[in-house]
A and B are shown apart, each in its own frame.
Chain A
Amino acid sequence: GDSVTQMEGPVTLSEEAFLTINCTYTATGYPSLFWYVQYPGEGLQLLLKATKADDKGSNKGFEATYRKETTSFHLEKGSVQVSDSAVYFCALSFYLGDRNQFYFGTGTSLTVIP
């Protein structure tokens, strides 16, 4: 079935390190792909999105490219900050039947240490 698989955490990095969080998906059709971020005790915030193959979503220094050939949407940031410490969720969305289908990964916890 349709699903999202993302890298398990927790991930701990030093400030200014390079970040990659892997996300792969399985879907029939052509889904839209998203990364959400959740800070402690808060709801999810949309970080970036891509709606078709080869699109690159970017926001706040984070980037992810929609790779149809590898069914991946890996999240990257060149230099992380302490304030990036949060849980990151990969998600996909597509319309099937009578409603929108939305699948979340299980989340990857990131801690950035000074």
Chain B
Amino acid sequence: DGGITQSPKYLFRKEGQNVTLSCEQNLNHDAMYWYRQDPGQGLRLIYYSQIVNDFQKGDIAEGYSVSREKKESFPLTVTSAQKNPTAFYLCASSIFLGTDGYTFGSGTRLTVV
């Protein structure tokens, strides 16, 4: 079955470390997205990519970086510059126009220890 796989499900980061969250899709979707969700809050867009080798900043890109070397993959790196990284991270994908809605992964919960 087609879908989006995020890994790991839980991730712990020490202060000053960079960590990378994986997102892989086999839906043949052109566009991919990263969102951050904090407790009791809505979703905030971090980065998005509409085609391979191209990506754009969302509303809260500071302290994050991404790459899109393959259509299927859109990893997110949370750098040490992100001062408050503890959150639930959601990856999503869509057809290019996105008007059919997004398909979401099951999320990665990142905690700073």
Name A residues whose Cβ lies closer than 8 Å to a Cβ of B: 32, 34, 36, 41-46, 49, 51, 89, 91, 93-95, 99-100, 102, 104-107
B41 within 8 A of A: yes
Our count of residue pairs bridging A and B at CB distance below 8 angstroms stands at 58
B97–A95 touching, CB < 8 Å: yes
Minimum CB distance partner of B104 in chain A: A43
CB distance from A49 to the nearest CB of B (A): 6
Bound Cα distance from A106 to B40, whole angstroms? 8
Q: Report the interface size class on chain B.
A: 20 to 34
Residue interface bits B59-101, CB-to-A below 8 A is 1, else 0: 0000000000000000000000000000000101010111111
Minimum CB distance partner of B95 in chain A: A100
B31 within 8 A of A: yes
Partner of B90 from A34, A43, A93, A99 at Cβ < 8 Å: A43
A34–B101 touching, CB < 8 Å: yes
B99–A94 touching, CB < 8 Å: yes
* Residue among A32, A42, A102, A107 with the highest chain B CB neighbour number at 10 A: A102
